[in-house]
Structure 1
Amino acid sequence: MGISRPHKSSNGVSTRWVFLFCIASFFLGVLVVNRFWNIPDPGQMDDEASSLKKDQLTAEHPPVDCQKQENAVQAGDILSQVSQTHDVIMALDKTISSIEVQLASARAAKSDNENVSPMVIKSGNEHLKERPKAFFVMGIITAFSSRKRRDSIRETWMPKGEELKKLETEKGIIIRFVIGHSASPGGVLDRAIEAEDEQHKDFLRLNHVEGYHELSSKTQIYFSTAVAMWDADFYIKVDDDVHINLGMVGSTLARHRSKPRVYIGCMKSGPVLAQKGVRYHEPEYWKFGEEGNKYFRHATGQIYAISKDLATYISVNRHILHRYANEDVSLGSWFIGLDVEHIDDRSLCCGTAPDCEWKTQAGNPCAASFDWSCSGICKSVERMEEVHQRCGEGDEAIWHTSF
């Protein structure tokens, strides 16, 4: 026949079918490989390896939350840290305040030294070199005509001679009668005071012309002079017809020793007297509002105490502090607007016997006693000894009292 037949391989399978089978196998292989064998990205492989390693490390070493641990430490120490910070701030504030006070005192002392009269310069310079430390300085405001009042005080509650010096060295208590000079310096009145001071050595002389209507000015100059001469915690003003128990005064002040700006006394707020001719008339009554108004709170003038910062403030600003007719009002006005703590202590204004006597018998003697009706002890020259006997804390009390 003329038709040719397909060739067969030796095993009986047609060559054509073998060829077709090979081609189909090839394409099938390509499809399978593309579907199931995706070649991974090298970066992804690294990430997977890192993740696997991290999981292994996490299993072996559980993680520690550093933030929580730090918060726990801070929570445990926060009170201690706050306390330490507060202490540092307070110490720094106290140091700064002390430096400011010393600087202001030095400036005031320099200014005073440039303006004082010749009879004050020598005494002032001697103290300025040392400016000894003291617990408190008590200035007893007195006049040329009050020699008998001064003697009645020396014979009762105020130590004299060697006892006065001992009080200064052992207790840090300075007591002086405070007086200026007459309108004619070096006259008979001044010579009498100089002779008395030579005998008792218990005066503080001021660069001030004496006069009843100059008490505000005298008070201002007293504080300025005292703070320039002594570095004390407190400065006291007292009238020369008031009975004092020094031990009780010291104990009273010691309770407020850590406070920087305190004003201690028997606080009052009396009426502003506009009528002319009456005692304690206030010429500038109109500054206090409508007629019939009262003064701001201030300490009664018989006795009051101020801390060192306030005395320094008066000294530094004395040229611009206004002076009213009444010195206790003037002092109170100087502290208006300042951060000052007013201490109302009624033991500084007890009445005389029987009031102060009952309190003494009860074991609570008064710090100061006087009669309100006389703004001091009535007939103090004659009665000071009696008040001292009935209301005094005992002459040895001051030496056994710790401050």
Structure 2
Amino acid sequence: MELAAKRSTLELLRSSGSPVTSETSQPRKKAFVVIGVNTAFSSRKRRDSVRETWMPQGEKLQQLEEQKGIVIRFTIGHSATSNSILDKAIDSEDAQHHDFLRLDHVEGYHELSAKTKIFFSTAVDFWDADFYVKVDDDVHVNLGMLATTLARHKSKPRTYIGCMKSGPVLADKNVKYHEPEYWKFGEEGNKYFRHATGQIYAISKDLATYISINQPILHKYANEDVSLGSWFIGLEVNHIDERNMCCGTPPDCEWKGQAGNICVASFDWSCSGICKSVERIKDVHARCGEGDSAVWSFLI
């Protein structure tokens, strides 16, 4: 009943032509894409390295929203202890940079699937965007190429964009990506269904809204990228395999750029992100970055 009521309310409000948030009843801001950079309390140096490379700061961040409809925020919840030192540190950092989206979520590595649901639901509440992107804070992104890639798929409904993969379901509880519910995926040794790798992916407005509406009953698997893929597996969804969203770090992304194939995102598969990203992301940006002007010349 609660789910049906929320769906009816959202449909009524949004069909009126004036999108509003479900929580605050305030007009949502229009955007082309909302990019949530997943981060943790312990990742201040990673955030600063992102700010110093591919993420604009200050007035430029605001101009990017107003002129290009590209919204970028670090996404983080709160600690288990109310108003802790960790929370106050984020408050202070946000007061300085104004680039956080605070989530109603208790932070924890094993809670990434829940955080993903809450991010999309919160982003949908605040922004009426064509696309919503999740990216990790140890990944290099070329914003202009990301926007250009998304724009190619703007007319398609229910789009799920990323580097699609199908890894093994790991039943051994002693390995890193152990799947406690391995039995649901059939015989031992089976692989997961196709899903976008978790370092970066994008979903269209209708899929983000679907997550927002159905959040309470969407099942969470151990791995966040598997969880997201599972929420779409029974729907009429366009799975778009964009290999330029999972380039390697130099020399891979550098060679591709020299050949005219600029990467959307670069990272190291072996580290599920850029290995030692704080020390290396500046070099990746220097060798594989599209140039600061690229995103400003992007046309929606």
The two structures have a TM-score, normalised by structure 2, of 0.94
Q: Does 1:146 align with 2:50?
A: no
Could you tell me which of 130, 133, 137 is aligned with 2:27? Answer: 130
2:19 and 2:147 mapped to 1: Cα distance? 29
CA contact (8 A) 1:108 1:224 kept: no
Amino acid at match of 2:227: S
Q: Does 1:345 align with 2:257?
A: no
2:259 and 2:110 mapped to 1: Cα distance? 40
Give how far 1:129 is off. Answer: 1.4
2:82 and 2:60 mapped to 1: Cα distance? 31
CA contact (8 A) 1:243 1:369 kept: yes
CA contact (8 A) 2:75 2:103 kept: yes
Query: What's the secondary structure of 2:190's corresponding residue?
Result: coil
Single out whichever of 384-393 and 354-363 deviates more from structure 2: 354-363
CA RMSD of aligned residues (A): 1.8
**Shift in alpha-carbon separation, 1:330–1:108, aligned structure 2, 3 A:** farther
The match for 2:65 is 168
Residues 99-156 of structure 1: CA deviation (Å, up to 9, x unaligned):
57926xx99943xx3xxxxxxxxxxx4xx51201100000000000000000000000
Amino acid at match of 1:102: R
Amino acid at match of 1:269: S
The match for 1:400 is 297
Could you tell me which of 281, 284, 287 is aligned with 2:178? Answer: 281
The match for 1:215 is 112
Amino acid at match of 1:334: W
Q: Does 1:201 align with 2:98?
A: yes
The match for 1:298 is 195
Residues 23-53 of structure 1: CA deviation (Å, up to 9, x unaligned):
xxxxxxxxxxxxxxxxxxxxxxxxxxxxxxx
Could you tell me which of 154, 158, 161 is aligned with 2:55? Answer: 158
2:31 and 2:150 mapped to 1: Cα distance? 13
Amino acid at match of 1:170: Q
Amino acid at match of 1:179: I
The match for 2:153 is 256
Question: Which sections of structure 1, spanning at least 5 residues, go unmatched?
Answer: 1-97, 114-124
User: Counterparts in 2 of 1:362-381, with a 5 A limit?
Assistant: 362-381=259-278
Amino acid at match of 1:159: P
Where in structure 1 do 4 or more consecutive aligned residues deviate above 4 Å?
98-101, 106-109
**Shift in alpha-carbon separation, 1:107–1:183, aligned structure 2, 3 A:** farther
Query: What's the secondary structure of 1:318's corresponding residue?
Result: helix
The match for 1:266 is 163
The match for 2:218 is 321
Q: Does 1:102 align with 2:14?
A: yes
**Shift in alpha-carbon separation, 1:364–1:314, aligned structure 2, 3 A:** same
- How many aligned residue pairs are there? 290
Could you tell me which of 257, 261, 279 is aligned with 1:382? Answer: 279
1:207 and 1:391 mapped to 2: Cα distance? 35
Query: What's the secondary structure of 1:130's corresponding residue?
Result: coil
Structure ID, larger Rg:
1
Single out whichever of 354-363 and 301-310 deviates more from structure 2: 354-363
1:390 and 1:161 mapped to 2: Cα distance? 25
Give how far 1:186 is off. Answer: 0.6
Query: Percent of pairs identical after alignment?
Result: 73
Q: Does 1:358 align with 2:258?
A: no
1:251 and 1:101 mapped to 2: Cα distance? 31
2:54 and 2:14 mapped to 1: Cα distance? 32
Structure with the bigger percentage of helix:
1
Query: What's the secondary structure of 1:378's corresponding residue?
Result: coil
Higher normalized contact order (CA 8 Å, seq sep 6+, divided by chain length): 2
The match for 2:4 is none
Residues 298-327 of structure 1: CA deviation (Å, up to 9, x unaligned):
000000000000000000000011000000
The match for 1:225 is 122
CA contact (8 A) 1:271 1:293 kept: yes
CA contact (8 A) 1:269 1:297 kept: yes
2:103 and 2:206 mapped to 1: Cα distance? 21
**Shift in alpha-carbon separation, 1:236–1:179, aligned structure 2, 3 A:** same
Give how far 1:161 is off. Answer: 0.2
CA contact (8 A) 1:351 1:370 kept: yes
The two structures have a TM-score, normalised by structure 1, of 0.70
**Shift in alpha-carbon separation, 1:176–1:354, aligned structure 2, 3 A:** same
2:180 and 2:20 mapped to 1: Cα distance? 30
